Amino acid sequence: MEDNGNLSLFDLLEEDNIKSAPEAAPADDRQAYEELVRTLNHYAECYYDQDESPISDYEYDMMNNRLKEIEKEHPDWISEDSPSKRVGWKAEKGVLVKHDVPMLSLQDVFSRQEVDDFVNEVREEFGPDTEFLVETKIDGLSCALRYDNGDLTMAVTRGDGITEGEDVTMNVKTISDVVKHLDNAPEYLEIRGEVYMTRKAFEEVNRAAEEDGKKTFANPRNCAAGTLRQIDTRITRERNLSLFIFNVQTSRGIEFKTHTEGYEYLKARGVKVIELYYRCHTADEVWEAIQKIGDARSSLEYDIDGAVVKINDLSVRERMGNTIKFPRWAVAYKYPPEEKETKLLSIETDTGRTGRVTPVAIFEPVNLCGTTVTRATLHNQAFIDELGLGIGDTIRVYKSGEIIPKIKSVNKDLRPSDWKPYVMPSECPICGHKLVREEDAADLKCVNPLCPGTLVHRIENFVSRDCLDIKGFGTEYIRKLVDQGFLKDITDIFRLKERRDELLESKIFGREKNTDKLLDAIDQSVLSAGAERVLAGLNIPGIGKATSRELMKNFSSIDDIAAADVDKLVAVGDIGLITANGIKEFFSDPEEMRIVNDLKSFGLNFAAEEKESLGSELEGKAFCITGTLTGMTRDEASALIEAHGGKVVSSVTGKTSYLLAGENAGSKLTKAQSLNVPVISLEELKAMFEGED
């Protein structure tokens, strides 16, 4: 492992360093162990509460295994909030329901040896005729369904796995796979399954979200979890969730001797149970079944994250019992990230919003994690040189977090005889303008402001929530408007109203109502967007929402910023020499100034807002804000802090005075904890300047 200097564990978890994270916590370093606990808890909270995960299940599992190793060596270190002491995650979002039967997790295993050990130990204790089932482990959200005299009366999420979960009955009833009444049913039956989303349904949801300009989901599991917890059941119905049942939890009025007997009973009543499973007796048969399921992953319509090995005989299960977290009669084999070799056909280059030119590898199609992959980013020339990449190379491709395709390595033994290292072009692939490389930077950039390659990305930024916040202006609409000549720069957005008839004829937005809705949103943005939002939308390198706010606190208008010299710009907090030079270059460019003056002529606000000072109690203190605040937006909280003399920053560093954290606080909370930055609530913030009653 390379030397990472003084980086914390949190820093090691960023981007491509993530696979080094488990080793980042040495067994004799208690502080590193405690940091690992906090990091794992943060990822678990993202997974269960926010329905998203910054890392793949495999990467989380590797970190969790390292945690277990450390706790085995140092049992006196184990903290109450350690992931090893938790089954699920606390349920907080909806109406809470007590579990009739605990919804335990499964013990994960990662090697054939661990699988063999489990099977052979069971056979040794209960005999060679013991039967095992090997079945797919669906990547979704666990849910228990309760039937009273055949009627579905309650559906509960896993929650903490032991005590309680969330009532999701109304949403579960919208799922077409769910049987709402069982014929010839017992007095009471509780079954457990996995709510999931097929890849086709997932693609439809993301396509619709993109067209509406909304945030897309990272993967089907996150989408399914978020959908099941929707307040509006119509949204749940529209997203086409699915459900597989994988266990009979408990019953009154009927008994089953084996797991498969329960499956047959449910199937006879129309209940959809796990469709792919194998009955086995020996360790070799179990491993063969695991391999078969692994080979079938790409052909399934849904994602799986492993194979479950469980004992079929329910009396044996009862005799084996459970630990606090797991049943002793089952394990879950987790597949490693899928990797495949393919041939590099070409390298294309694309120009982004800031003019950065990114090389993209185009290769022969491979199927990874259920989707066909043909492209992967190569970042820049330095990354290409590190791989030693050339056209015709045989490359090994994988999916980072089972989402983003990446190139892992090159098989140099299969290199073609006429191989040459790839060198990026010196001209923009879109407009032909000469590319430049900034000092001490690896990226090549196109500095032509009229480059069509940058236009779509520039407009995306301009209409985004942090800038003009024009609702419904999705990427697909922008691309069509650019392709059909409606948008040649960002100022053309405000000329679209003059071309309403042409827009209706083009049918870019579909119905007339949709066209008028967007045109009204554009008009509204002129009235509502403050100067700091306009400044953030100008696409000045290094100037985002936070920096534009800081600039507008120190200058009376965007015009004043344009006229300021470098020394005056550098005097502003958070503005370094590189950013200051970038601002000067932007406002010195005749084409950029034409765009700026056009925007001003359309009535956009260029003047800084007069902000009332309410005091200086927070002077000299820097606040970072994260999560959802109760009763106040983040922008309102920022204004409140600034009105009392404080400063709002966009990231957590050692110089941050406080982290103001609301619900669903993310990685900033973890970073603050690792740096010992005080974390406060909105009430604690107000107490700083309101005083105690």
DSSP for 421-448, please give it. -----SB-TTT-PBEEE-TT---EEE--
How far is C-alpha 122 from the chain's CA centre? 39
Cβ-contact 64, 39 below 8 angstroms: no
Nearest to 220 by CA among 244, 239, 247, 245: 239
The helix (run of H) or strand (run of E) holding residue 684 is helix 682-690
Catalytic residue among 85, 90, 137, 343: 137
Residues 6 or more apart whose CB falls under 8 angstroms from that of 203 comprise none
Mode of pairing for the β-strands spanning 404-411 and 394-400: antiparallel
Cα distances (angstroms) measured from residue 218 to each of 84, 203, 225, 404: 27, 11, 12, 9
Cβ-contact 66, 26 below 8 angstroms: no
Tokens at 217, concatenated: 């989901």
Cα distances (angstroms) measured from residue 517 to each of 6, 44, 208, 478, 524: 52, 40, 17, 15, 11
Annotation says 180 is catalytic? no
Which ranges of 269-380 would DSSP assign to H, the alpha helix?
A: 283-296, 314-320
Backbone angles phi, psi at 340, to 5 degrees: -145, 150
User: In degrees to the nearest 10, what's the CA dihedral of 263, 106, 340, 24?
Assistant: 170
DSSP for 165-221, please give it. EEB-HHHHTT-TT--SB-TT--SEEEEEEEEE--HHHHHHHHHHHHHTTPPPPSSHH
Mode of pairing for the β-strands spanning 107-109 and 188-196: unpaired
Instruction: Enumerate the active-site residues.
Output: 137
